[in-house]
Amino acid sequence: MKKEIKIALIILGIVLFIVGLFCGIATGISRKNRETNPVRINYQKSSFQDFNVENDVVNIKCKLYIYNVYDEDKSFYIKAKSSEDVGTLLSDENLIIKENGKEKVFELKANESVNIDVIFEGKYGGTNQKKDRLLPDDIRIEYID
C-alpha cells in the first residue's frame, strides 16, 4: 500500500511539473507578444463601411477598433493590403492612410482602446466594384521608433 502511494505521489509531482512548465512557457510567449505587438486590432469589432473613387484614387472607409496592451504610449502607421480587389477596383494591393498629403501617424496612450474611422487610399484599377464588403485582407500596424 505504501509503495502505491509513493508511485501516485511521484506521478502527481510529474504532472504538476509538466503543467507548471507549460504555464511558464505560455506566460513567456504572452509577454513577448505584448512587447512585440502592443497595438492590436479587434477584427470582430471592426468593419468595412463604404468605398468611392475620386481622381483615380480609391478611398476605402472602415471603422477599426484598436487597443494598446502595453504600459507605454505608442505611435504607429496603419497599412493594409487588399489583394482580392487587384485587377478590378485596385491596380495595386497596397493601401495607406493619409492626412494632409502625408501618411497619417496614429497615437494610442498606454492601455487605451478606441474606435476610429479611417480611409485607406489605393490606386484605382479601372472597375468601380469591390469584391466584397469586408475589411482589407491584411491590416497591419507599423511602429514608429
Domain span including residue 5: 1-36
**Joined grid coordinates for residue 4:** 502505491
Same domain, 44 and 107: yes
pTM: 0.74
Same domain, 2 and 60: no
When computed from its CA atoms, the radius of gyration of the chain, rounded to whole angstroms, is: 23
pLDDT in tens, the chain (145 residues): 677 777 767 777 777 767 765 655 544 443 444 446 799 999 999 999 999 999 999 999 999 999 999 899 999 999 999 999 999 999 999 999 999 999 999 999 999 999 999 999 999 999 999 989 999 999 999 998 7
Cβ atoms of 122 and 95 within 8 Å: the answer is yes
CB atoms within 10 A of CB 102: 8
DSSP-derived secondary structure letter, 90? B
Cα separation, 83 vs 90, whole angstroms: 9
- Here the CATH number for the domain that contains residue 138 is 2.60.40
